Amino acid sequence: MAMTTNGLSSKLIRNIIRRVNTPSPTTTLTTPRFRSAQRTTINTTSTTILQPPSPPPVNAAGAVTDDARDTIFDFDDTKGLFSSVSTGKLLRSAANLNLAAVEPVVDLGMWVMRSRVMHVGLLREIVLGVIKHTSYEHFVAGADLEETGRTVQKLWESGLRGMLDYGLEHAVDNQSCDTNALQFVKTVESTQSLPPSSVSFVVVKITAICPISLLKRVSDLLRWEYKNPTSTNLPWKLKTLAIFSESSPFYHTLQKPSPLTPEEEHDLELAHQRLVNICNKSIECNVPVVIDAEDTSIQPGIDYFTYSASVMYNKGQKPLIFGTIQAYLKDAGERLFETKKAADKMGLPVGFKLVRGAYMWSESKLADSLGVESPIHNSIGDTHNCYNKCAEFVLDEVSNGPGGLILATHNLESAKLAAQKARDLGIGKDSEKLEFASLYGMSEAMTFGLRNAGFGVSKYLPFGPVDQIMPYLLRRAEENKGLLSSSNLDRQLMMKELKRRMKAYVGQGLEETENQFKSQAGSVVKLN
């Protein structure tokens, strides 16, 4: 479906006017241009396959009723919520979450993992052993593809899907990039031995297939070109979508960078070919790719890889390549709109994964050291508002056109708003246009609630050896200790369900004992 017709342009203009004149219940974004743009329309041990949930109630006109919208989540029925989770798994999850909610314990663990202790052989093994049986077991899907495949199978039996993320970190040379690219290809190939559609996406990190130093150079040159288009020549640049907006941070590049050397251009070509190989394999295996975001110093280079691959591979209605938008950035909404507009002009389906963001501390620290404004929203409320408005915009767009959206969130209110919006637009699981996602081991109540409400839900599955996955676990600890200590919904509901199961077990035991006693008593009577 082409997206460049005059009819569509007129529709966009009409919708801008309509939405600008419609009051919004939430605070507006700080980016003026996006305030208009956003309003366009901007697997347990048992093999129990869950039955599809009943459709939500509708009125005489066929619209979902207000009562149905308010029942996206039913947290009163913990039996139905955790029906696919074994008691042993529930006990381990509750214990790990309660431990992770104690901030001093998390702080101590982070200090140990970063200390000299990790350089002492025996002590290192002891620490890794403790990590393996606590946070690693809870937040990591497995040590290799075989173990991760079993996790995917269990999720699939629970009515969920997996997003495979091999735990690779930053690469520094071509040799490590080649090795990492091969691992990504093997990850894509592994989906063929799993139930069809049980893997929703394979996650790729550009930082693992392109040296960090080169990504920084490419990002600097792209920033300079955006600010000085007439005086910049980038002969290596491929056709891409919009990467910047007027509100994007440019303080990383304060003077004109030197052009890429012939060797750097060759290395860039090699990195691009690695991504091409991964994409070709994903086409062969019929599994889409989602590319992770990083910090703003190298994100332009990552977006360049993402969107140039999107131009090459995204066809028809369903995108193969999904990029990532971090809603805690002040320019997120504006960049999202500009990228979608560029894709529409080219007739491309475009896929977005929407997250809040993972580098708040480092981004703010760098900006502060340079004496410039932080690229991060000034308040958590602004971030929530940006996330919800971005989600609303993309849902409106994909409801009547090509494209797709992954809503990666642990925020219950954002999930509820998006689910209500999707219901209003008729976007369900079968449309394959919306996938909710959360980290493995987190937001279980929300995950199962969305599943029971009839939406496609995936768990983000990092995997790899415990020592290799350490940086990931450190980030999870840093980013989520506040979330885990303040949001106790999962822990409360898990404990409630465990108590219910215990009562049911004790009650069943008493009933069996009573029946046995009656049977024995009856036998004595007969004998007499």
What secondary structure does DSSP assign to 186-216, as a single string? HHHHHGGGS-TTSEEEEEE-GGGTS-HHHHH
Strands 321-326 and 289-291 come out as parallel
Model confidence pLDDT, tens digit, residues 351-405: 999 999 988 888 999 999 999 999 999 999 999 999 999 999 999 999 989 999 9
Using DSSP, state whether 43 is helix, strand or coil. coil
Q: What is the pLDDT of residue 523?
A: 58
Q: Which residues of 147-163 are buried (b: 16+ CB within 10 A; e: fewer)?
A: ebbebbbbbbbbbbbbb
Measured CA to CA, the distance from residue 517 to residue 523 in angstroms comes to: 10
d(CA 171, CA 207): 6
Question: In angstroms, rounded to a whole number, what is the distance separating the alpha carbons of residues 121 and 247?
Answer: 49
The encoded tokens of residue 82 equal 């955790």
Q: Which of 88, 78, 101 shows the shortest CA–CA distance to 448?
A: 78
The yes-or-no verdict on residue 462 having pLDDT over 60 is yes
| Tokens 């409801």, located at residue | 399
Mean pLDDT estimate for the chain? 83
User: Of the given ranges (14-23, 252-261, 346-355), which has the lowest mean pLDDT?
Assistant: 14-23
Residue 124 has pLDDT above 70, yes or no: yes
Dump the DSSP string for 310-323.
HHHH--SSS-SEEE
Rounded distance between C-alpha atoms, residue 409 and residue 473, angstroms: 18
Report residue 93's pLDDT band, with 50, 70 and 90 as the boundaries: confident
Cβ(454)–Cβ(52) below 8 Å: yes
Higher-confidence position of 507 and 444? 444
> How do residues 42-78 score in pLDDT, each as one tens digit?
333 333 333 444 444 444 444 444 444 457 888 899 9
Query: Which band of pLDDT confidence, cut at 50, 70 and 90, is reported for residue 119?
Result: confident
pLDDT at 22: 42
Q: For residue 528, what is the DSSP state? A: -
Residue 131 CA to residue 491 CA, distance in Å, equals 20
Question: How many residues are recorded in the chain?
Answer: 528
The Cα 255–Cα 42 span in angstroms is 34
Nearest-CA neighbor of 152 among 165, 136, 144, 163? 163
Strands (E), 320-379: 321-326, 351-355
Is the predicted pLDDT of residue 169 greater than 90, yes or no? no
Closest CA to 457 of 100, 88, 84: 84
Paired tokens of 467:
């020592």
What pLDDT does residue 116 have? 79
For 231-275, give the DSSP string: G---TTPPP------TTS--TT--SPPPPPPHHHHHHHHHHHHHH
Burial of 254: CB neighbours in 10 Å, binned 0-12, 13-18, 19+: exposed
Average pLDDT of the residues in 271-278: 98
Per the DSSP assignment, residues forming a β-bridge with 329 are 376
pLDDT (average), residues 460-474? 83
Given this model, what pLDDT does residue 50 score?
39
- What domains can you pick out in the chain, each with its CATH number? 142-463 (3.20.20.220)
Q: Is the pLDDT of residue 123 over 90?
A: no
pLDDT at position 334 is: 97
* Percent share of the chain, pLDDT over 90: 58
Report residue 138's pLDDT band, with 50, 70 and 90 as the boundaries.
confident
List the beta strands (DSSP E) in 84-238: 161-166, 199-204
> Could you tell me which of 259, 263, 250, 253 has the C-alpha nearest to residue 231?
259
When comparing pLDDT for 272 and 52, which is higher? 272
pLDDT number for residue 68: 44
Listed range (53-57, 119-123, 129-133, 373-377) with the worst mean pLDDT: 53-57
Given phi > 0 = left and psi -120 to 50 = alpha, else beta, which region is 443?
left
Q: What is the pLDDT of residues 211-238, one digit of tens each?
A: 999 999 999 999 999 999 988 899 999 9
Using CB atoms within 10 A of its CB, is residue 136 exposed (0-12), middle (13-18) or buried (19+)?
buried
Contact 449, 77 (CB under 8 A): no
pLDDT for 258: 96
pLDDT score at 67:
47
Query: pLDDT per residue over 483-501, tens digit each?
Result: 544 457 888 899 999 999 9
pLDDT (0 to 100) of residue 303: 98
Contacts of 303 (CB under 8 A, 6+ apart): 240, 243, 323
Residue holding tokens 């093999």? 47
191-210 residue pLDDT tens: 999 999 999 999 999 999 99
Is the model more confident about 485 or about 274?
A: 274
176-195 per-position pLDDT tens digit = 999 999 999 999 999 999 99
Q: Which residues contact 373 (CB under 8 A, 6 or more apart)?
A: 367
Give the pTM.
0.81
Q: Helix crossing, 380-399 with 332-346: angle to 10°?
A: 20
Inter-axis angle of helices 444-452 and 489-527, to 10 degrees?
70
Q: What are the tokens at 510?
A: 């008493």
